[in-house]
């Protein structure tokens, strides 16, 4: 491979360019008009303007293929998001004579449909969450019967969904009708899906995923990542290793992940996601057939460049590593920094970046494309940077992360930096008592008191977090009344 087209933008485009440079591979990038000043555009050897704007620009398959033909690249790397899990695009890339840096389109297709994926994995003896596929013609009574069979709470989701979208927890029978209508409408709009998934909701579960790599025959795993700190079903803090699960259970999860990949003769890197119950039973959630946002933590503890591995697997279709060669050391944590307003229900925040200070501390990696005076538009995902820190153990990785967040300054837009710090400083996080629902309800009350005792937080930060919690408390009808009162009182006593 001499030249690669990167069908993506921003931080992940720059990350792929970095590896290509180390491998002596030239890069071609694409950009929409609003991205023309982003660093990745000039990090690449060649960059081409797209005629459309926003998401549309980066998902116009034919335009991208035409640029690949014109620039005579050998391969296409899709990054994550956009076309990375689009089997039709992968096939077009291959049919046009290029190497697709990802698994076979058949693997993408099978895993893209969570219903088909669950059915296939269930048959291979992998534990799957009990559930049903609900077609649009099924009557409410039938659906209610299925929900009763499983028992509330249940979860409704779009089988083709991603990024935590079109997922809804349903706690009681009374909520079912409206929730069904909402998810069916959302799924239709988001992915065009006529069917939805109805499955058991795993209360206080941990999201633990296994990174795997394979060449269609041979397979290895690169350990786990815990991604239980989520908002609206989307990860915001991820780490590896997970010290809070019995090592024997983790071993079983590695084996199960490898079996998942083996079943479909998986041939690149991929991630098998599991949900783990409080009594440490694990269930297959889905498989992501692409590079994951949080791949950096795995790179930090294994020393393996996952993008180099993707490129090599695509080129040679041969996995060079044996399992015993994959070792791990130390602890890594990633935080996703979003341009969003925690005081206003975390709505995306837009504006012009000012007074930008990106720390360069030891034990720190920041993947970003930020620059002074850059416009943050509402056109793309609000994730603006990923911070990864390393430590000899978990506590040191957390300390390094808090220090990095303290040293990261971004004006001109609202960000979730203080919210991330509040989570990292909480006893729940430091003692590992975490699960996918942690950031709701009681936790907000708990961190509100903990924040008051923080010595290194500024008044402004305390105010911001107080406002965040207050906004959440008002918006969340499930929040215990005591919290609302406490926060109200706190608001007047400590803040005004």
Write out the residues near ligand ADP by the rule CB under 6 A: 10, 12, 80-82, 129, 155, 161-164, 167, 199-202, 205, 207, 230, 233-235, 273, 275, 285-286, 288, 292-294, 381, 383, 436
Q: Which of 212, 239, 198, 257 is nearest to 390 (CA)?
A: 239
Cα 90 to chain centroid distance, Å, stands at 21
Q: Which stretch binds Mg ion (CB under 5 A): 192-200, 268-276, 376-384, 394-402?
A: 268-276
Cβ–Cβ < 8 Å for 139, 208: no
Run of H or E including 211: strand 206-214
CB of 280 to ligand ADP, least distance (A): 15
Please confirm, yes or no, whether 290 is among the known catalytic residues: yes
Run of H or E including 143: helix 140-150
Q: Which of Mg ion, ligand ADP, none does 129 bind, CB closer than 5 to 8 A by kind?
A: ligand ADP
Q: Which stretch binds Mg ion (CB under 5 A): 65-73, 88-96, 103-111, 271-279?
A: 271-279
Of the pair 438, 467, the CB lying nearest ligand ADP is at 438
Q: Which two tokens stand for residue 490?
A: 């706190």
Q: Which of Mg ion, ligand ADP, none does 294 bind, CB closer than 5 to 8 A by kind?
A: ligand ADP
CB of 486 to ligand ADP, least distance (A): 27
For residues 154 and 172, what is the distance between their CA atoms, to the nearest angstrom?
8
CB of 269 to ligand ADP, least distance (A): 12
Tell me which DSSP letter residue 267 carries: -
CB of 80 to ligand ADP, least distance (A): 5
Q: Which stretch binds Mg ion (CB under 5 A): 74-82, 99-107, 273-281, 300-308?
A: 273-281
Cβ–Cβ < 8 Å for 220, 322: yes
Q: Which of 127, 431, 60 is nearest to 285 (CA)?
A: 127
For residues 267 and 271, what is the distance between their CA atoms, to the nearest angstrom?
12
Q: Which stretch binds Mg ion (CB under 5 A): 26-34, 138-146, 236-244, 272-280?
A: 272-280
Q: Which of 225, 290, 336, 394 is catalytic?
A: 290
Q: What does the angle CA 237 – CA 272 – CA 440 come to, to the nearest 5 degrees?
A: 35
CB of 366 to Mg ion, least distance (A): 24
Cβ–Cβ < 8 Å for 115, 159: yes
Q: Which two tokens stand for residue 63?
A: 């335009």
Of the pair 235, 394, the CB lying nearest ligand ADP is at 235
Of the pair 310, 457, the CB lying nearest ligand ADP is at 310
For residues 368 and 376, what is the distance between their CA atoms, to the nearest angstrom?
13
CB of 232 to Mg ion, least distance (A): 13
Strand partners, 210: 224, 272
Of the pair 81, 348, the CB lying nearest ligand ADP is at 81
Of the pair 73, 383, the CB lying nearest ligand ADP is at 383
For residues 345 and 146, what is the distance between their CA atoms, to the nearest angstrom?
34
Of the pair 149, 452, the CB lying nearest ligand ADP is at 149
Q: Which of Mg ion, ligand ADP, none does 80 bind, CB closer than 5 to 8 A by kind?
A: ligand ADP
On the 0-12 / 13-18 / 19+ scale of CB atoms within 10 A, 380 is buried
Q: Which of ligand ADP, Mg ion, none does 82 bind, CB closer than 5 to 8 A by kind?
A: ligand ADP
For residues 102 and 314, what is the distance between their CA atoms, to the nearest angstrom?
7
Residues that bind Mg ion (CB under 5 A): 273
Catalytic residue numbers, as ranges: 290
């Amino acid at each position: 491979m001499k030249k690669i087209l990167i069908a993506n933008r921003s931080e992940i485009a720059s990350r792929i360019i970095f590896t290509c440079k180390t491998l002596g591979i030239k890069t071609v990038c694409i950009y929409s008009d609003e991205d023309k000043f982003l660093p990745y555009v000039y990090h690449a050897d060649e960059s081409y303007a797209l005629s459309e704007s926003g998401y549309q620009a980066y998902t116009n398959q034919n335009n991208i293929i035409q640029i690949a033909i014109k620039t005579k690249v050998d391969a296409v790397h899709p990054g994550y998001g956009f076309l990375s899990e689009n089997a039709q695009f992968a096939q077009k890339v291959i049919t046009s004579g290029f190497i697709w840096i990802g698994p076979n389109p058949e693997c993408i297709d099978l895993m893209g449909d969570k219903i088909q994926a669950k059915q296939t994995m269930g048959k291979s003896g992998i534990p799957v969450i009990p559930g049903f596929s609900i077609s649009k013609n099924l009557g409410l009574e039938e659906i209610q019967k299925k929900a009763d069979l499983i028992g509330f709470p249940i979860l409704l989701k779009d089988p083709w969904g991603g990024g935590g979208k079109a997922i809804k927890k349903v706690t009681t029978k009374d909520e079912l009708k409206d929730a069904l209508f909402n998810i069916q409408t959302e799924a239709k709009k988001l992915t065009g899906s006529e069917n939805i998934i109805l499955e058991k909701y795993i209360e206080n579960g941990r999201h633990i995923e296994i990174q795997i790599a394979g060449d269609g025959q041979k397979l290895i795993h690169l350990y786990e990542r815990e991604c239980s700190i989520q908002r609206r079903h989307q990860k915001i803090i991820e780490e590896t290793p997970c010290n809070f699960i019995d090592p024997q259970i983790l071993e079983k999860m590695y084996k199960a992940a490898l079996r998942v990949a083996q079943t479909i003769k998986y041939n690149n890197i991929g991630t098998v996601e599991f949900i783990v119950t409080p009594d440490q039973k694990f269930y297959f959630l889905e498989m992501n057939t692409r590079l994951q946002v949080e791949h950096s933590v795995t790179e930090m503890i294994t020393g393996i460049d996952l993008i180099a591995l993707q490129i090599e697997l695509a080129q040679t279709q041969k996995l060079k590593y044996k399992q015993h060669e994959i070792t791990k050391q130390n602890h890594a944590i990633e935080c996703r920094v979003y341009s969003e307003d925690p005081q206003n229900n975390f709505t995306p925040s837009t504006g012009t970046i000012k007074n930008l200070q990106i720390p360069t501390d030891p034990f720190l990696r920041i993947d970003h494309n930020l620059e002074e005076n850059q416009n943050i538009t509402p056109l793309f995902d609000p994730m603006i940077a990923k911070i990864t820190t390393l430590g000899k153990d978990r506590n040191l990785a957390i300390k390094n992360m808090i220090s990095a967040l303290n040293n990261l300054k971004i004006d001109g837009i609202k960000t979730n930096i203080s919210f991330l710090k509040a989570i990292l400083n909480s006893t729940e996080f430091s003692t590992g008592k975490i699960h996918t629902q942690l950031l709701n309800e009681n936790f907000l009350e708990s961190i509100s008191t903990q924040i008051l005792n923080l010595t290194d937080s500024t008044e402004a930060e305390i105010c911001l977090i107080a406002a965040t919690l207050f906004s959440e408390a008002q918006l969340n009808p499930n929040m215990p009344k005591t919290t609302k009162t406490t926060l109200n009182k706190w608001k007047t006593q400590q803040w005004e």
